[in-house]
Amino acid sequence: MEISVSITDNDVRKGGIVSLVSPRNPTPTKTVYLSNIDQTVAFPVQTVFFYEVPPGGGIPTFDVTERVRISVSEVLLIPYYFMAGRLNFNLQTKRLELVCNNAGVLFVGATSHLRLNELGNLSLPNPSFRHLVLQTEGFESFAETPIFTIQVTRFKCGGFSIGFVTNHSILDGRSAAEMFENLASICRGEGMKTHELNIDRSCIRARDPPQIKFKHTEYTKLAEATSLASSFTSPIQPPTSTTLTGLLPDHEFRMFSFNPDMIRCLKEKAMTKCSSFEAIVAHIWRARTKAIFDNLDEISSVLFAVDIRSRMSPPLPQGFSGNAVITASASAKVADLGEKPFSFCVEMVKEAIERVTDEYVRSGIDWLEVYKGMPSTLNGNFFLSAWWKLPFYELDFGYGKPLYGGPVAGGMGEFVLLLSSGNDMGKRGGVNVWIALEKDKMERFSCHVFEI
């Protein structure tokens, strides 16, 4: 599936001066400890939401930019004061930390001469949509770079987009979605939906001394990985290209859509009770392995995030805002994935999820304390990132629900994205799979992925 529309600098005009928005009232100034999980994901996440003019004219959108800016400054940044802070690398501890210093959130209003219907298929992760999120390349040092930016872009038709950049080391997907929901609620005049936020990561601090009780093949020692290409080895730099060929010249990007009937067939094929997520992960893993690997004796692995909020003992505090996910992995010989029944692949994925207990998580955190690792997306392995269940389709800033919301495409070939299916926005069970592969391998994957 091709992206037919490319937005350029000439299509979006930033209005006025890009401003740093700080909390209107005094907020705490302190340094926040970042967990070992936070340390592995210190890269920017770009998300954009599209809104059309409400049917029948509805509420005019001319004031949306000011409405969002005031809501951020006067309300959101009081409980979310830490999002106006900055990351700092502590030379003494050799760790990233969050400095809550009220330095501000980067904010801008923009206009475009384009209409929303000229942007093509909004559900495709389009790298040129980076013009709809506020970039931070102009800052001289890491310690000066904002960890949260907002851009509101109004289109010629009266519709608009809201683009966010957040740093993954501060918020995981669930925490970021909750913050967006709170901002939308404030913009509607309904105030904060969440009344308790907890940014204390001490509950998932490494033990002293560390107690590593599992192998943790889901991680690679950083010392062994920094010379190899991976999204986790150079996490701070956002992609700069606005074309897919510019991101990964030797790769092809494609979207594969699975409707609810196809997912139902996969679950029936599993011959065991499983979730839609488990069935899709197993299927993509198997198809990609057949496309990528030629040596049947090699080991193929799929990695994915598992929420640990309720898996810890005791559970993480109510309102925990941070990275409450751990990397899980399923591994098997290439020959087994291709020759054994689909139920084998599903069982491998289910076992990977079931391994994530309190003791396994704490062992993984201790492993990261000792070895300073990163998720093992090397040697043909990949990370499957699930966006399709995040509640983006409810994000109403006072002008109705979005046409679509999701990530901006980045140059991360070792990531496979699970996205909401078109304007379905995850409500009816469909899912889109966004994947990048070398061209010859993409042809092989295309043959295997619809073997249902």
In a domain, 212, yes or no: no
Q: List CB contacts of 237: < 8 A, sequence separation 6 or more.
A: none
In a domain, 317, yes or no: yes
In a domain, 211, yes or no: no
Rounded to 5 degrees, what angle do the CA atoms 253, 405, 302 make? 45
Cβ count near 401 (within 10 Å) = 16
| Number of domain units in the chain | 2
The first and second tokens of residue 394, run together, are 């409810």
The residue with greater pLDDT, 143 or 223, is: 143
| Parent domain of 402 | 219-449
Residue 211 — φ and ψ, nearest 5°? -130, 90
Question: What's the whole-number average pLDDT of the chain?
Answer: 88
Q: List CB contacts of 91: < 8 A, sequence separation 6 or more.
A: none
Whether residue 331 sits in one domain with residue 278: yes
pLDDT tens track for 339-369: 999 999 999 999 999 999 999 999 999 999 9
In a domain, 214, yes or no: no
Where is the domain boundary, 170, 204, 238? 204
Identify the CA nearest to 18 among candidates 128, 165, 143, 118.
Answer: 165
pLDDT tens track for 286-303: 999 999 999 999 999 999
Whether residue 263 sits in one domain with residue 397: yes
The arrangement of strands across the sheet holding 325-333 comes to 251-258, 431-438, 415-420, 382-386, 299-307, 325-333
How large a percentage of the chain has pLDDT more than 70? 87
Alpha-carbon gap, residue 352 to 281, rounded angstroms? 11
Cβ burial, residue 357 (10 Å; 0-12/13-18/19+) = middle
Which residue blocks in 129-213 are alpha helix, DSSP H?
A: 173-187
Whether residue 253 sits in one domain with residue 156: no
Assess whether pLDDT exceeds 60 at residue 38: yes
Alpha-carbon gap, residue 447 to 182, rounded angstroms? 43
pLDDT tens track for 324-340: 999 999 999 999 999 99
Residue type, 432: N
pLDDT tens track for 57-116: 656 667 899 999 999 999 999 999 999 999 999 999 999 999 999 999 999 999 999 999
Identify the CA nearest to 175 among candidates 305, 64, 281.
Answer: 305
Q: List CB contacts of 25: < 8 A, sequence separation 6 or more.
A: 78
Whether residue 266 sits in one domain with residue 140: no
The residue with greater pLDDT, 252 or 441, is: 441
Whether residue 224 sits in one domain with residue 199: no
Alpha-carbon gap, residue 64 to 58, rounded angstroms? 13
The residue with greater pLDDT, 423 or 326, is: 326
Identify the CA nearest to 38 among candidates 316, 248, 326.
Answer: 326
> Average pLDDT of 189-206?
93
In a domain, 209, yes or no: no
In a domain, 276, yes or no: yes
Where is the domain boundary, 144, 172, 204? 204
Whether residue 421 sits in one domain with residue 287: yes
pLDDT tens track for 225-257: 654 444 444 444 444 444 444 456 678 889 999
Where is the domain boundary, 169, 204, 239? 204
The residue with greater pLDDT, 118 or 230, is: 118
Residue type, 327: T
Rounded to 5 degrees, what angle do the CA atoms 40, 46, 48 make? 150
CATH number for 382: 3.30.559.10
Whether residue 176 sits in one domain with residue 143: yes
Assess whether pLDDT exceeds 90 at residue 49: yes
Alpha-carbon gap, residue 345 to 128, rounded angstroms? 36
How large a percentage of the chain has pLDDT more than 90? 70
Assess whether pLDDT exceeds 80 at residue 421: no
Confidence band (pLDDT; 50, 70, 90) for 277?
very high
Is the link from the previous residue into 375 a cis peptide, with omega within 30 of 0? no
Q: Provide the pLDDT for residue 324.
A: 98
The residue with greater pLDDT, 343 or 125, is: 343
Whether residue 299 sits in one domain with residue 238: yes
Q: Provide the pLDDT for residue 1.
A: 40
Alpha-carbon gap, residue 47 to 404, rounded angstroms? 11
Q: Provide the pLDDT for residue 17.
A: 53
Residue type, 217: T
Confidence band (pLDDT; 50, 70, 90) for 18?
low
Strands (E), 67-180: 86-90, 95-100, 105-112, 148-154, 160-167
